[in-house]
């Protein structure tokens, strides 16, 4: 004898109403089924979107990836905090400066020294490089990259395709 999912009452199999979505769920009546569905919709947890990583987490993950020895995290966190207050840089600026030094300038990381081997020295260069990249990205959005192909018959059988722009240069 199945029990009603809503009121927990025992019922005969012939008298039960079964949920179309979940055949194993039995109810006394269709009204109990509808009440159960409404109750379940209200009690379902709203799915929270995953939070993006914080700037500090991104910075520490990057330091973990590039540092040749296991970093002393208390010392690094103190350095990050001091750099943010003294220089006015954000944690993202520190990460981008490190990326610039390691990936663009290809400087070697010395595991005995902290962030001070890069940060005060290369901050201005890194900021200028990042601003240049942003300016180039902004200028690229205005350029139209679609080329038109025009077929030009050369002989009876061979057909060569050329860009329309190339055709204008050859007309001289």
Average pLDDT on 34-44 reads 73
How high is the mean pLDDT of the chain? 80
CA distance linking residue 160 with residue 149, whole number of Å: 10
pLDDT tens for 52-87 read: 778 899 999 999 999 888 888 999 999 999 988 988
Rounded to the nearest 10 degrees, the angle between the axes of helix 55-66 and helix 73-87 is: 130
Half-sphere exposure of 59 (CA within 13 A, CB side): 21
The sign of the CA dihedral 90, 81, 98, 128 is: positive
Which of 5-9, 129-133, 149-153, 166-170 reaches the highest mean pLDDT?
Answer: 129-133
Q: Which two tokens stand for residue 62?
A: 């990057």
Stated pTM of the model: 0.54
pLDDT tens for 133-154 read: 999 888 888 777 776 666 666 6
Residue 161: the pLDDT is 60
- Of residues 158 and 16, more confidence is placed in 16
- pLDDT bucket at 118, cuts 50 / 70 / 90: confident
CA distance linking residue 27 with residue 59, whole number of Å: 55
CA distance linking residue 130 with residue 13, whole number of Å: 71
CA distance linking residue 34 with residue 30, whole number of Å: 6
Q: For residue 149, list its beta bridge partners.
A: 163
- pLDDT bucket at 18, cuts 50 / 70 / 90: confident
CA distance linking residue 28 with residue 38, whole number of Å: 16
Residue 170: the pLDDT is 47
The pLDDT of residue 19 is above 90 = no
Cβ neighbours of residue 108 closer than 8 Å, sequence gap 6 or more: none
- Of residues 21 and 159, more confidence is placed in 21
């Amino acid at each position: 004898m199945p029990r009603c999912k809503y009121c927990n009452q025992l019922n005969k199999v012939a008298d039960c109403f079964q949920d179309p979505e979940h055949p194993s769920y039995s109810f006394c009546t269709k009204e109990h089924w509808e009440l159960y569905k409404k109750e379940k919709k209200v009690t379902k947890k709203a799915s929270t979107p995953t939070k993006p990583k914080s700037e500090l987490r991104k910075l520490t993950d990057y330091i973990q990836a590039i540092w040749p020895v296991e970093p002393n995290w208390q010392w690094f966190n103190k350095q990050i905090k001091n750099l943010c207050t003294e220089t006015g840089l954000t944690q993202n600026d520190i990460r981008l400066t490190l990326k610039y030094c390691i990936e663009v300038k290809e400087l070697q990381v010395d595991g005995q020294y902290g962030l001070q081997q890069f940060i005060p020295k290369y901050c201005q260069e890194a900021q200028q490089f990042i601003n240049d990249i942003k300016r180039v990205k902004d200028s690229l959005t205005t350029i139209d990259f679609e080329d038109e192909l025009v077929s030009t018959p050369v002989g009876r059988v061979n057909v060569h395709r050329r860009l329309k722009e190339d055709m204008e240069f050859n007309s001289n």
